Amino acid sequence: MTTQNYLMIDIAGTELTTEDKELLQHPKIGGVILFTRNHESLSQLKNLTSEIHNLKSPALMIAVDHEGGRVQRFREGFTLLPPMRELGDLYDKNPGSAILKTENMGEIMGRELKAVGIDCSFAPVLDIDIGISEVIGNRSFHSDPKIISILAGALVHSMHKMELIAVGKHFPGHGHVKADSHIAIPIDNRNIEAITQSDLLPFQYLIESGIDGIMPAHVIYEKCDPAPAGFSSFWLKNILRHQLNFNGLIFSDDLTMKGAEPMGNMIERVIKAKTAGCDMLLICNNRDAAIEVIQHEHT
């Protein structure tokens, strides 16, 4: 079961500690996710990412949640990006303007993040907003999967022009559940046909357009599989890999979230997520859990 470079963890401050450096050089670590607390200034952030990249070869991937709106970790010195919904609302009035604005936003995101050494933005959100999910809400482009596909495709195209890795989330769709998987265990009771005809459409479009990564939801789709999607070989292997022909990286959502709790303790979560098909596993804001996984001989 043991492989290398499959864990993505966080750090506490604006510079690396001795413990950080030791942990990040471990063979199991493949990436670092940064948060607002890691950003003090542009020069500090650039120095931090440079030090992380120089720790080992191949270099660690550095990622951040930088969608725009309420989910934008870096703000000081960065352009404040609007929530995706603003682009969807504009599309309803003027599709051409919305596409141009989305392309421009992707270029700004890519240029500014690459300038400070970030490799990957966990964006865009591909969930459909039907007015149920508060945690998604205006993070979603629209209620129409075709419009989501068009705008998300424009965003990713521009991110790629700037050589920024794009990760679509939350597969196969978080928009039909009210519960927030950060603090609850959401259950979606729709069947596979209903999900295929709506939620999967943006993912299919973006996969065909060459998106780099996909992040599954900590949602249980009980008529399809008893496990949350990120721990389900049905969703990750049967649907994502084989049916949708996705060949990129599958990033787990944060394994410390409430939605992952049904899978057991952290060691069990890691083993089940890897077995289901996740390539890069996120363990955020719990250094003890990360160390436990790193030291465990069977992960």
Burial of 152 (0-12, 13-18, 19+ CB in 10 A): buried
In which residue are the tokens 């952030």 written? Answer: 45
Cα Rg of the chain, angstroms: 18
Query: The tokens of 298 are what?
Result: 């069977």
CB neighbour list of residue 208: distance below 8 Å, 6 or more residues apart: none
Contact predicate 253/174, CB 8 Å: no
**CA distance to 15, 37, 54, 150, per residue, from 19 (Å):** 11, 18, 16, 44
- Residue from 182, 225, 254, 279 carrying the catalytic annotation: 182
Is residue 120 within 8 A of residue 65, CB to CB? The reply is no
If one counts every other C-beta atom within 10 angstroms of the C-beta of residue 295, the result is 10
* Distance set, CA 275 to CA 7, 140, 195, 212 (Å): 14, 30, 24, 21
Torsion (CA) 50, 279, 204, 227 in degrees, nearest 10: -130
Nearest partner of 253 among 95, 110, 135, judged by Cα? 135
Catalytic residue among 20, 129, 188, 253: 253
* Catalytic annotation present for 253: yes
In the chain, which ranges are E strands?
7-9, 29-34, 61-64, 66-68, 71-72, 120-121, 165-171, 187-188, 213-216, 220-221, 249-250, 281-283
Residues with a catalytic annotation lie at 182, 253
